[in-house]
Amino acid sequence: MYSASATKTLQEQTNKLLQQIKQDPPVSSVINELRNVLRFHEYRYYVLNDPLISDFEYDTLYKSLEQLETADPALITPDSPTQRVAKGLGTDFQKVTHLVPMLSLENSYNAEDLIDWDRKAKELTGKEEVEYCAEPKFDGAGISLIYENDLLVRGATRGDGTEGEDITTNIKQIRSIPLSAAFSEYGIQQIEIRGEVLMTKKNFKAYNDKLAEENLPPLANPRNAASGSLRIKDAKEVAKRNLEAFLYHVGYVMKSEVRSTKYEVPHTHADALSMLWNLGFRSPENEKKIIKGIEGVIAFCKEYEAMRDTLPYEIDGMVIKVNDLELQEKMGMTSHHPRWAIAYKFKARQATSKLRAVEYQVGRTGAVTPVAKIDPVPIGGVTVASISLHNADFIAEKDLRLGDSVLVERAGDVIPYIVKSFPELRNGTEEIIVFPTHCPVCRHVLVKPEGEAVWRCNNINCEAQVVERIIHFNSKDAMDIRGMGEANVRKFYELGFLKDIPSLYQLPFEKIKEMEGFGAKSIDNLKAAIENSKSQPLYRLIYALGIRFVGEATAKTLANAVSYLPDLQQKSLEELQQLEDVGPKVATAIYDFFQNKENIELLQQLEALGVVLKNEHKEIHSSGNLNGLTFLFTGTLPTLKRSDAEQMVEANGGSILSGVSAKLNYLVVGADAGSKLEKAKKLNTVKIITEEEFLNMLKN
Ligand code: IVH
């Protein structure tokens, strides 16, 4: 898409623009350059996964473009990078008819199936050997895109193959899909291209972790996550899901009148993939292989199956296509699938088993999770015997009964999941699953808050919760006390060595020494791990505390917002909400946690035991203009949003304090500043500046 010299030029333009913007507001004469540069960086980031600038630099350029377009809306073009942004909630999706139906693929499961299919292909084409193009079968949601006069004009779901839904606004949230592409260079006036929208395994896991933090049931697999995401009515939410798209097929082409064009319309499937790649799409250009004869195809499929787990996204097989488009035409199609293509499906990661029992686990927040015990079955190399059923609603929705046959799926490194039960296989001995009314551990009555799906034990001294809180505190992403492990926490708790989190730092090692399985070496290791945990970065401690809805990302945000953990007690609900990704619900949970006396006492106890509550690992940007300086903003600033201003401080090496104190260097004052300004004036040591002066500090 971009040659080495184009890349160099664009990178130079980027630096020039960044330099200019730092000094003066952007001028409209650079608007086209800004757009080109932004498109280039989107391509580097979203298609190549190889960004050349930081997110902050990208945002700076993007905001400048936005500023210019807001000042003069006549300058906006439909393919401007700003035009992906959706406003408000969408209405119902309009039904659209596919001009050429989106057919399925014929399936094959082994070498014999492929050899059979190859024989038919040779018959139909009259060739002795057929040239194929093989590529991954992406496990996502099928889409169709129409470009007219180089502009993306429609994005639709596959639907039933004949009729789909218009999801153009949502499609624009997928940043690897260009809003415009130079099809005209190929003499193409209108084109329909097809592909698959995916969620990477990493994004899927992150998304499910977020759902789990909110006690919502996880999505079953990345495929469901992708297809569900495409049908969300709020495009902003779609943008947050970080979807990706592979485009692998040309549905139809309408040529333009122009006779001589720069390139020819492709004659083979592989050329079509190259065309898409060259126009900036993510096509399987680097994944595909052109192979003569079916033997090579079989070997390639096996090779790919062996490395399936190392890919960042899920694939469920390979697709083999006759490469020559003229031969494809000759072979034609059935009403169900083209004769020129076949899917080779990898070994299923599904199995059937019997649901034997349901056990109930109490988590650290008191949530009671039902867990299915099934007859153990091997799926994709792992034996599955226990599967979370999430909550009572899930059991009802899936109509699960004890004794039912169930379909179980385990996709890649994803947790196992019950896809469905088979009511048609019941013989009358199956039993309804009755959710308990009392905590299985402490017998406290269970409650279900309005609007939540989870039954909860509200007894915070419930043994199960205490133990789970200690286990979470210890865990790898939290304080990472190695050598402790879940089993030891349970054992030490039973023996009375552990009763709460602080007791982790007061273990009676003289007694542990006497226990079986604890040699001098393992005791030393455990002691060292406990000692090391005292100086873990602050965000780990925050995460370890197990505040509701506070996962690792939010813990990092909180850690960066203070220099000393108990300072969070001083943050108002409003201030908390100004932090990145902290909405009202999360802010309330954090606020409640730090207003609770018992939690503050817990922090004091931990500090007395040597746990560091200071932020010693706060990111320092050595190149920043504000290195080592502390700031606080008060009142309404004339142009900047407070959260943006705070981010600018941090991006330039400074830090934000939560209140006026002797540690504060600068108080940036806007309109209607109140008590903070008064306090700063009294202190004498604090420099009081305006937004303009602050912005000047950034420039110098
Ligand atoms: S070609 C007319 N290529 O698999 C043939 N399909 O099970 C068009 N799929 O509906 C399809 N990866 O959504 C093709 N590399 C690939 C694919 C692929 C995934 C999906 C597609 C199709 C389904 C059939």
pLDDT band at 378 (very low <50, low <70, confident <90, very high): confident
Q: In this predicted model, what pLDDT tens digit does every residue of 672-682 receive, in sequence order?
A: 888 888 888 88
- Give the E-state strand segments of 438-562 in sequence order: 446-447, 456-457
State in Å: Cα 21 to ligand 1 middle.
45
Q: What's the whole-number mean pLDDT along residues 634-655?
A: 84
pLDDT on residue 621:
43
Q: Is residue 469 within 6 Å of ligand 1 at its C-beta?
A: no
CA-closest candidate to residue 504, choices 539, 544, 528, 473: 473
Q: Is residue 342 within 6 Å of ligand 1 at its C-beta?
A: no
Ligand 1, pocket-test mutation among 106, 133, 139, 196, most atoms within 8 A of CB: 196
Give the three-class secondary structure for 398.
coil
Q: What's the whole-number mean pLDDT along residues 17-30?
A: 89
Residue 618 has pLDDT above 80, yes or no: no
pLDDT on residue 87:
65
Q: Is the four-CA dihedral 156, 160, 162, 163 of positive or negative sign?
A: negative
Q: How far is CA 203 from CA 367, 493, 661, in A?
A: 25, 36, 41
Residue 275 has pLDDT above 60, yes or no: yes
Residue 312, strand partner residues: none
Q: Which two tokens stand for residue 249?
A: 């097929």
Distance in angstroms (rounded) separating the CA atoms of residues 282 and 273: 9
Q: In this predicted model, what pLDDT tens digit does every residue of 298-320 receive, in sequence order?
A: 999 999 999 998 899 999 999 99
What is the residue with the minimal CA distance to atom 15 of ligand 1? Answer: 137
Distance in angstroms (rounded) separating the CA atoms of residues 277 and 211: 35
Residue 110 has pLDDT above 50, yes or no: yes
**Angle at which helices 597-608 and 584-595 pack, to 10 degrees?**
70
Q: Is residue 206 within 6 Å of ligand 1 at its C-beta?
A: no
CA-closest candidate to residue 132, choices 289, 316, 287: 289
pLDDT on residue 623:
56
> Which burial class, exposed, middle or buried, applies to 503 when counting CB atoms under 10 A from its CB (0-12, 13-18, 19+)?
middle
Across the chain, mean pLDDT equals 91
Q: Which two tokens stand for residue 99?
A: 């001009």
pLDDT band at 453 (very low <50, low <70, confident <90, very high): confident
State in Å: Cα 464 to ligand 1 middle.
48
Q: In this predicted model, what pLDDT tens digit does every residue of 404-422 receive, in sequence order?
A: 999 998 865 567 889 899 9
Residue 620 has pLDDT above 50, yes or no: no
Exactly one of 137, 556, 571, 676 is catalytic; name it.
137
Q: Report how far Cα 114 is from the mean position of its chain's Cα atoms.
A: 36
What is the residue with the minimal CA distance to atom 1 of ligand 1? Answer: 249
Strands 630-634 and 655-656: parallel
Q: Which two tokens stand for residue 305?
A: 């199956």
Q: In this predicted model, what pLDDT tens digit does every residue of 500-531 receive, in sequence order?
A: 999 999 999 999 999 988 888 889 999 999 99
| CA atoms within 13 A of residue 497's CA, in its CB half-sphere | 18
What proportion of the chain, given as a percentage, has pLDDT over 70? 97
Nearest-atom number in ligand 1 for the CA of 135 is 15
Alpha helix (H) residue ranges in 126-230? 168-171, 201-213, 222-230
CA-closest candidate to residue 633, choices 621, 612, 650: 650
Ligand 1, pocket-test mutation among 98, 99, 105, 346, most atoms within 8 A of CB: 105
Distance in angstroms (rounded) separating the CA atoms of residues 492 and 485: 11
pLDDT on residue 84:
86
State in Å: Cα 137 to ligand 1 middle.
6
State in Å: Cα 256 to ligand 1 middle.
28
Q: In this predicted model, what pLDDT tens digit does every residue of 42-65 receive, in sequence order?
A: 999 888 888 888 888 898 899 999
pLDDT band at 594 (very low <50, low <70, confident <90, very high): very high
Q: Is residue 249 within 6 Å of ligand 1 at its C-beta?
A: yes
Distance in angstroms (rounded) separating the CA atoms of residues 37 and 43: 10
- For residue 74, count other CB atoms closer than 10 A to its CB: 5
The verdict on whether 137 is a catalytic residue reads: yes
pLDDT on residue 88:
62
